[in-house]
Amino acid sequence: MKKLACYFAVLMFSVLIVAIPTIDAQEKLTIAWAQWDPANYLDELSKDFTAETGIEVDLVQISWSHFQDSVFTAFVGKSDRYDIVIGDSQWLGRNSVGGHYVDLTDWINENIDVDAIYATAMEAFAEYPKGSGKYWALPAEVDANGFLYRTDLFEDADEKAKFKEKYGYELAPPKTYEELRDIAEFFTRPPNLYGIAPWYSKEYDGITMGFQQVMWSFGGSYGDPETYKVEGHINSDDVVAALEYYTSLRVFSPPDAPNYYWAETLDAFKAGKVAMAMDYFAFFPGVVDSNQNPNYYDKTGFFVSPAGPKGHAISIGGQGMSISAYSKNQDIAKRYLKWFMQKPVQEKWAQLGGFTPHEEVLQSEVFLNATPFNRAFAASFPYLRDFWAVPEYAELLEACQTGWNQVIIGSKSAKDALDEIARKHEAIFEDAGYYD
C-alpha cells in the first residue's frame, strides 16, 4: 500500500511538473531581435499592443555577436522559441528558400497597405526574389549608413580659414567622397585627433557595409542580378578605384581602425578621437544623449553618406519582421504585424526613436524634426541599396569581408583581392546552380 502511495505521489508530481507551464500559459508572442536601442523602443511600443489585445509580448534581445547564430540555430532545430524574428535583409533568401519564414504574400496583399510603405524598404526587407512580388516580411526598422561630425571643429573660424586656404573651398559637411578625404586629411593630427573612423572590420558584415556604398558610388557593382555573372563587375576598374580610395582613408583614421565596425567608430567619436565617423543612424540617439556622450552630445552634426564620381548609393541597414515557420502562434504574430503597420502605431514608433518605413510618417514634419539626425536619415532613403540577399549570402559576404580587409591591412593589392573575390563568388554561384 505504501509502495502504491509512493508511485502515486511520483506520478502526481510528474503531472504537476508537466502541467505547470500549461496552467500558467496565456497568449504570448515572442519576438527575437538584436540587443540595441530600437529593441527597447519596440519593447515600449508593444505595451500598447498588450493593452489593446491582452496578448503579452516578450521581446528577446540577443547580443549582436550572437544574434545570427542564435536565430539560425533555432531555425535549424525547427524550434518554436521565436514567433517573430526581426532579421537582416540579407537573411531573406536563406530563410525563405530554407522554409524558415512564413510566406506572407497573400496575407500582406489582403491586410497591409503596401503602397503606404517606402518601396525601397519593401523590396529590401520583404521581397524575395527581388521583383517577384513574393513577401516574407514587413519592414520594421529601416536604417542607413550615415556620418557624424564634430560641429565644434567644423564651425571653428580658425579651422575654416585654414581649410579654405589649403583646399580652396569652404569647410562644411562633405557632399562627395573627394571632399570627405580632404576633410579627413585636414583633421588628421595624431596621436590625439584623426580625420575619420570608417568601417574596416572583418567582423560579420563590417567592411562590406562600409565599402559597398563607395563601390556603387564609384560606378561598380557586385554583379549582374539577372545572370549572377560577377567577373568584370566586382573586379572592374571602377571597383579597383573605389577600393583604393577606401584604403587611402586608413592613414587618416586611428591606428586600430582595421578593427572598426559600428561600436568602435561610435566609441572613437565619443572619445573625441575623430572629426568624422561612419555609423548607422539607429545608433545616433546615443550620440546626442548627454549621459552616453557627455563631451560631444551638443557638438555633433550629421550628414548623408557622400556621393561618388559616378553616382550616389548608400548601404541599407535595419531589419524586417518575419514570422517563424515553426511558431505555434502564427495568427497572433500576423495580428501583431498588422497592428504594427498602422499609421498611428508607426507615428508612435517614430516618436520613440524607431526608423519607420511608413512613407507618409517618414516625410512628416513631426518625424523630420523629432531628432537632429532624422532629416539626414530621410534624405538618405532614395539612395539605399543592399548586398546580395540570396541563400548563399553568407559565403559571398565571407569572401568580401576577408578580401577587402586584406587590402586595408596591406596584405593584398586591390586588384588581386577583387579578382580573388570575383573567382570565389562565381564558384559559389556555380556550386549553387545559378548558371545551370
Partner 1 sequence: MRTARFSRGFSDYQIKMAFIMPTMILLILMNIFPLLWSLYLSFHRYKASMPNRPAKFIGVQNYARLLTDPEIWGYFQTTAYFVVLAVITQFIIGFGLALLLNREFRYKGLVTTLILLPMMLSPVVVGLFWRFIFASDASGLVNYLLSPLFGGPIGWTTDPKIAMLAVVIVDTWMWSPFMMLISLAGLSAIPKYLYEAADVDRASRWFKFRWITLPLVSPLLLIALLFRTMDAFKMFDIVYVLTREGGPGIATETVSMNLYKLAFRNYNTGKACAMAYILLIIIVALSNIYVKHLNKVRGEA
> What is the C-alpha to C-alpha distance for residues 163 and 169, in angstroms, rounded to an integer?
8
Residue 194 CB, nearest approach to partner 1 (Å)? 10
For partner 1, the binding residue among 394, 415, 423, 434 (CB under 8 A) is 394
Query: Which span sits near partner 1 by CB under 8 A: 178-186, 195-203, 218-226, 365-373?
Result: 195-203
Residue 103 CB, nearest approach to partner 1 (Å)? 13
- One-letter amino acid of 167: Y
DSSP 323: E
| Stretch 232-261 residues interacting with partner 1 (CB under 8 A) | 254-259
- For 232-242, give one letter per residue: b (16+ CB within 10 A) or e: ebbbbebbbbb
Indicate whether 75 belongs to the interface with partner 1 (CB under 8 A): yes
Q: Compare residues 98 and 286 and give the one whose CB is closer to partner 1.
A: 98
Residue listed under C-alpha cell 586588384: 415
Indicate whether 335 belongs to the interface with partner 1 (CB under 8 A): no
Indicate whether 163 belongs to the interface with partner 1 (CB under 8 A): no
Residue 128 CB, nearest approach to partner 1 (Å)? 14
Residue listed under C-alpha cell 579654405: 164
CB-hemisphere CA count at 13 Å for 288?
16
> What is the C-alpha to C-alpha distance for residues 130 and 319, in angstroms, rounded to an integer?
16
Closest CA to 136 of 194, 68, 90: 90
> What is the C-alpha to C-alpha distance for residues 341 and 352, in angstroms, rounded to an integer?
15
Q: Compare residues 46 and 68 and give the one whose CB is closer to partner 1.
A: 68
Residue 202 CB, nearest approach to partner 1 (Å)? 4
Q: Compare residues 370 and 394 and give the one whose CB is closer to partner 1.
A: 394
Per-residue x/- marks for partner 1, 268-307, CB under 8 A? -----x----------------------------------
Query: In angstroms, how far is CA 426 from the centroid of its own chain?
Result: 26
Indicate whether 172 belongs to the interface with partner 1 (CB under 8 A): no
Indicate whether 406 belongs to the interface with partner 1 (CB under 8 A): yes
Q: DSSP letter string over 193-225? A: BEEEE-----STTHHHHHHHHHHHHTT--S--T
| Cis peptide preceding 173, ω within 30 of 0 | no
Indicate whether 7 belongs to the interface with partner 1 (CB under 8 A): no
> What is the C-alpha to C-alpha distance for residues 5 and 409, in angstroms, rounded to an integer?
73
Q: DSSP letter string over 47-70? A: HHHHHHH--EEEEEEE-HHHHHHH
Helix (H, G, I), strand (E, B) or coil at 397: helix
Closest CA to 341 of 323, 361, 327, 324: 361
For partner 1, the binding residue among 37, 231, 398, 419 (CB under 8 A) is 398
Indicate whether 366 belongs to the interface with partner 1 (CB under 8 A): no
| Stretch 88-127 residues interacting with partner 1 (CB under 8 A) | 94, 97-100
Query: Which span sits near partner 1 by CB under 8 A: 179-187, 275-283, 314-322, 398-406?
Result: 398-406
Q: Compare residues 60 and 394 and give the one whose CB is closer to partner 1.
A: 394
| Stretch 197-226 residues interacting with partner 1 (CB under 8 A) | 201-203
Indicate whether 391 belongs to the interface with partner 1 (CB under 8 A): yes
Query: Which span sits near partner 1 by CB under 8 A: 285-293, 310-318, 354-362, 395-403?
Result: 395-403
Q: Are 278 and 194 in contact (CB under 8 A)?
A: no
Residue 219 CB, nearest approach to partner 1 (Å)? 26
Residues 6+ apart with CB under 8 A from 52: 339
Indicate whether 40 belongs to the interface with partner 1 (CB under 8 A): no
* Joined grid coordinates for residue 117: 510603405
Query: Which span sits near partner 1 by CB under 8 A: 49-57, 290-298, 335-343, 392-400?
Result: 392-400
Residue 62 CB, nearest approach to partner 1 (Å)? 15
For partner 1, the binding residue among 78, 175, 189, 328 (CB under 8 A) is 78
DSSP 411: S
> What is the C-alpha to C-alpha distance for residues 164 and 86, in angstroms, rounded to an integer?
46
Residue 98 CB, nearest approach to partner 1 (Å)? 5
| Stretch 43-72 residues interacting with partner 1 (CB under 8 A) | 68-69, 72
- For 10-23, give one letter per residue: b (16+ CB within 10 A) or e: eeeeeeeeeeeeee
Phi and psi, residue 33, nearest 5°: -150, 165
For partner 1, the binding residues (CB under 8 A) are 68-69, 72-73, 75-76, 78, 94, 97-100, 191, 201-203, 254-259, 273, 391-392, 394-395, 398, 402, 405-406, 408-412
